[in-house]
Structure 1
């Protein structure tokens, strides 16, 4: 592979992660403009529209997205992925953004690979290496700095933000672990498209979308377009395409651009104030998770071989 192809893959993955970070900032802005808007409504709209777009694109490009429903086991796994993977990683993330801010919510969610490492240790009996243990310790210290600002007897952020952010981090883990078999069989575009659509439709059990009346101004509609198109459809396609040029381990390192983008854009456009504890803690988490992500890829390969 040429250096030009490698650079193209890195740029695609980097821009995709930056767009994911921007979508969190757009959601935070949307919640400020319309305090009556719920994270549930925003998640439903985002999932349903983005899911339909991805499925239509898959059909037009010959991916045959409907064939996954012909197999009962695959269909069950797809629904599980939507409800247990995509719902927490998106709904819980938006709840953390709504009660807190995009940088903190994104950094807490970024602890997902740490959750995966714990899963492998508890259920697959894969003992962390020394470097992994150091990374986990760094992530723990970074989280502690953000949560307490150095005062161990009190919380510096709302417990509600910590709760939803923690669930979104668990969602990152389930979002990675659950669909691994059907991803290789049907492709990321088909699985993600159906997962989003199924999850968005199922959320109507808690709040029927047609019964919610949200007044949308021109600014709100623009932000919705940013969240759905620039923050969901485009980055997904770009990140998936980047894997044609670079290794998954290289692409995973680009994930660090997501919390960085959320932080920079929040400070620049939303006047979000972050303390030195937040910045140092966030940097520790980013460095730790970048190291952990490399080993998570190896553990995923191990799990794949065990299930074959």
Structure 2
């Protein structure tokens, strides 16, 4: 059990780091190309979904079994459209109208909703350590984004609306597919979710043209686009897969390193500046991860002593 927990911790931290890196890459794409959020997501979701499912099929995985059970494929379609597409579209649009770090901030508000949901569902209050982790992570995120002053937050109504939708989408795709994953596996569900989301968006955007898209991309923008697709796909697989070994609250809170990674990459690559309070924010976010890993270890020691 201890080994499985370490696997889960490694998966969520790696997935969160990859997602943190992908945000600044997407921001760079929007700054250096004519890509829209819809066109970007059609390419990202369709390619990632097709590649993932093809690899599974070639390794003789049962990728079509889920479609033989009405209750499961209905859940899968809901996940693909509302969870996968909904969360990613809101996230990408938030980056488009603001910045990558802002989008990650709104995404990270999801753990607050998840913690409340889990507490209501289990009829148990969050542990003191979980509450401390939430407070520490939220304070860290606040300092990271604002550098200690709310006056530095200048967001349009559109950015706020899209950001809140990102929060809801993040919460939904974390909680909704857990039963499907237990039955069919992480990669199968993620693969179908991406393909369903991509097909739905492609049908909605009938003016999408592969030829026009190809002509609008340079070698640099195409390279970054491919890196975003790869890192984003791995991030989703690792994030959702970690739910096998960690509960939803732990997984969502451990993803608190996302804004830290996004901020560091933005500072180094996009030349965005950060102050002393933002560095303090990074420390608080790291502290939240430490807080979160403490309760289970302590409870195990108590059991051994008894």
Partner of 2:155: 158
Corresponding residue for 2:102?
104
Structure 1 residues 119 and 282: CA distance shift in structure 2, 3 A = farther
Q: Match for residue 19 of structure 2?
A: 20
Q: CA deviation at 1:31?
A: 0.5
Q: Is the 8 A contact 2:11 2:238 kept in 1?
A: yes
CA distance in 1, matches of 2:184, 2:256: 28
Deviation (angstroms), 1:285: 5.0
Task: Kindly provide the CA deviation profile for residues 23-44 of structure 1, in whole angstroms up to 9, marking residues without a partner as x.
Answer: 112111100002x321222112
SS at the partner of 1:65? coil
Q: Is the aligned partner of 1:224 residue 2:225?
A: yes
Task: Write the mapping of 1:270-289 to structure 2, written as runs, cut at 5 A.
Answer: 270-281=270-281, 283-284=283-284, 287-288=287-288
- Distance in 1 (alpha carbons) for counterparts of 2:293 and 2:172: 15
Unaligned runs of 5+ residues in structure 2 are 296-306
User: Which one of the candidate residues 175, 178, 183 is aligned to 1:177?
Assistant: 175
Deviations 1:146-202 (A, max 9, x none): 6766555x5613143333233222222111111111101110111000001101111
Cα distance change on mapping 1:216 and 1:119 into 2, 3 Å: same
The answer to whether the 8 Å contact 1:89/1:175 transfers is: yes
Task: Give yes or no for contact 1:25–1:265 (8 Å, CA) kept in 2.
Answer: yes
**Equivalent residues in 2 for 1:92-131, closer than 5 Å:** 92-122=90-120, 125-131=123-129
1:266 match: 266
Distance 1:170 1:286, change over 3 A: farther
TM-score (norm 1): 0.78
Give the match for residue 41 of structure 1: 39
Secondary structure (helix, strand or coil) at the match of 2:208 reads helix
Is 2:90–2:162's contact at 8 Å kept on the other side of the alignment?
A: yes
Equivalent residues in 2 for 1:71-86, closer than 5 Å: 71-86=69-84
SS at match of 1:56: helix
Which deviates more from structure 2 when the two are superposed, residues 270-279 or residues 46-55?
270-279
Distance 1:143 1:13 in 2: 18
Q: Given the two structures, how large is their TM-score scaled by the length of structure 2?
A: 0.78
User: What is the aligned partner in structure 1 of residue 29 from structure 2?
Assistant: 30
What is the CA–CA distance in structure 2 between the aligned matches of 1:40 and 1:149, rounded to whole Å?
32
Which whole-Å deviations, capped at 9, do the CAs of 1:129-154 have from their partners, x for residues lacking one? Answer: 333333444455455556766555x5
User: How many matched pairs?
Assistant: 289
Q: Distance in 1 between matches of 2:98 and 2:243?
A: 33
Q: Which moved more, 1:53-62 or 1:138-147?
A: 138-147
Work out whether residues 137 and 256 of structure 2, in 8 Å CA contact, stay in contact via their aligned partners in 1: no
SS of structure 2 residue aligned to 1:208:
coil
Q: Do 2:90 and 2:165's aligned partners in 1 also have CA atoms closer than 8 Å?
A: yes
Distance 2:251 2:131 in 1: 22
SS in 2 for 1:193: helix
